[in-house]
Amino acid sequence: MKVSKRAIQMEYSAVRKLLPLATEAERRGVKVYRLNIGQPNIPTPELFFEGIRNIDNKVISYADSKGLALLIDRVVETYKRDGYNIEKENVLVTQGGSEALTFTMLGICNEGEEVLIPEPFYSNYKSFTEFAGAKIVPIPTKIENDFALPSKEEIQKLITDKTRAILFSNPCNPTGKIYTEEEVKLLAEIAVENDLYLVGDEPYREFIYDDTKKHYSVLDMEKAKDNVILIDSVSKHYSACGARIGFIISKNIDFMGYILKFCQARLAVPMVEQYAVANLLKAPKEYFKEIKEIYKRRRDIIVNGL
Ligand SMILES: Cc1ncc(COP(=O)(O)O)c(C=O)c1O
C-alpha cells in the first residue's frame, strides 16, 4: 500500500533514535545513563495528584477546545504573578508544547515557506516545521562566542520573501544559551520590520542557574505584541511530562482565532490532566528555588566531570 510523500520524508525523531540502542544495551546488563531525552526524575508535586483526586465530575466529558476554563484562569493568574499582563483570550491549552508548536507552524506556514531558527536547535523543530511543509533556515551560532546571535545584518541576509517566522527556545535546548535583553529585542525588531512571527519557546524559563543572568520573554516585547507567540508547557517546569499539557499564549487575537480551528478539530485536551494541572499551578514561586538547586548541583557535577 502506498503512503504519502509526507510520511516518507518525515524523519524519525532524533531524540528517540537512541532508545532501542539503550534498551538493547540494558538487556546486556550495561548501565545506561539516558541523556537523550529531557525526562526529569524529580517527583511531580503532590498538588498534581491532589487535583486528580478532587475531581468530582460524574462524566469525563470533552473539555472546551480552548482548554478547561479553570486551567486557563490559573494560567492567567500565574503569568500575572510573574509580571505578565495576559488575559483569558490570550491562552489556548494544548497537548504539550509539542502540539502548541505544531499548531503554530501549521497556522503560520504554507508549503515551501521558511522559518529562521538559531542553530543548534531542539531536534523536533524539524518535525514540527515538516508537518506544515515548511523549511528551517538556520541562524548559525557558535560555542566560541557562547552561542550569541549574529548581527542584525547577518540575520537579515537570511530573510527571503518566503520567510514567515523566527523560532527560538530560551533558555535554549540544547545549548543552554540564555538570550540577553538586547538579543530578544533584536529578534523582535527584525520580526516587526519584516512582518514575521516571533515564536518564543520557553519551557525552561525557570531554570537559570547563573544569578547574574535574567530571562527575557518574548512577552516582554510589547512593541512586537502582534508578532509574538509564546509556547509554554508544564512538562519540565513541574516534572510533569506525561501530563501532556502545554499552552499557546499570544496577544494577537486574530492568530488565536485561527489556531482555535485546529484545537476544535482535535476536540479537546484530556480533561483529567487539565484539572490536575489547574491544581498544580497553585504551587508557589518558591517551588522552583528548591528544584533549581537540585538541577544546578547536577549540572555542576557533569560540567566539572567533563
Ligand atoms: C525546547 C523544547 N520545546 C518543546 C518541547 C516539547 O515538550 P512538551 O511537548 O513535553 O511540552 C521540548 C521537550 O523536550 C523542548 O526541549
Domain for residue 264, yes or no? yes
Share of the chain above pLDDT 90, in %: 90
Residue-wise pLDDT tens digits, 86-141: 999 999 999 999 999 999 999 999 999 999 999 999 999 999 999 999 999 999 99
> Closest residue (by CA) to atom 7 of ligand 1?
97
Nearest atom within ligand 1 for CA of residue 244: 10
Domain co-membership, 1 together with 124: no
CA of 149 to the centre of ligand 1 (A): 22
Cell of 277: 494541572
Alpha helices in the chain (DSSP H): 5-9, 14-17, 19-27, 46-53, 69-81, 96-108, 125-131, 152-157, 181-193, 234-237, 253-265, 271-280, 287-305
Domain for residue 82, yes or no? yes
Q: How confident is the model at residue 83 (pLDDT cuts 50, 70, 90)?
A: very high
Q: Which of 34, 99, 199, 201 maximizes ligand 1 atoms within 8 Å of its Cβ, making it the mutation to test the pocket?
A: 201
For position 186, which CATH number holds? Answer: 3.40.640.10
Q: Structurally, how many domains does the chain consist of?
A: 2
Unique residue bearing C-alpha cell 501532556: 244
Domain co-membership, 76 together with 184: yes
Report the chain's mean pLDDT, rounded to a whole number: 95
pTM value is: 0.95
Domain co-membership, 183 together with 127: yes
Domain co-membership, 66 together with 174: yes
Residues 6+ apart with CB under 8 A from 239: 40, 41, 42, 43, 44, 45, 291
Domain co-membership, 246 together with 101: yes
Residue-wise pLDDT tens digits, 7-26: 888 888 777 778 888 899 99
Domain co-membership, 181 together with 52: yes
Q: What is the DSSP letter of 224?
A: G
Q: Which of 236, 239, 245 maximizes ligand 1 atoms within 8 Å of its Cβ, making it the mutation to test the pocket?
A: 236
Domain co-membership, 163 together with 206: yes
Domain co-membership, 30 together with 53: no
Domain for residue 304, yes or no? no
Domain co-membership, 126 together with 16: no
Pocket of ligand 1 (CB under 6 A): 38, 96-98, 122, 169, 173, 201, 203, 233, 235, 241, 246
Domain co-membership, 58 together with 23: no
Full domain range(s) for residue 10: 1-37
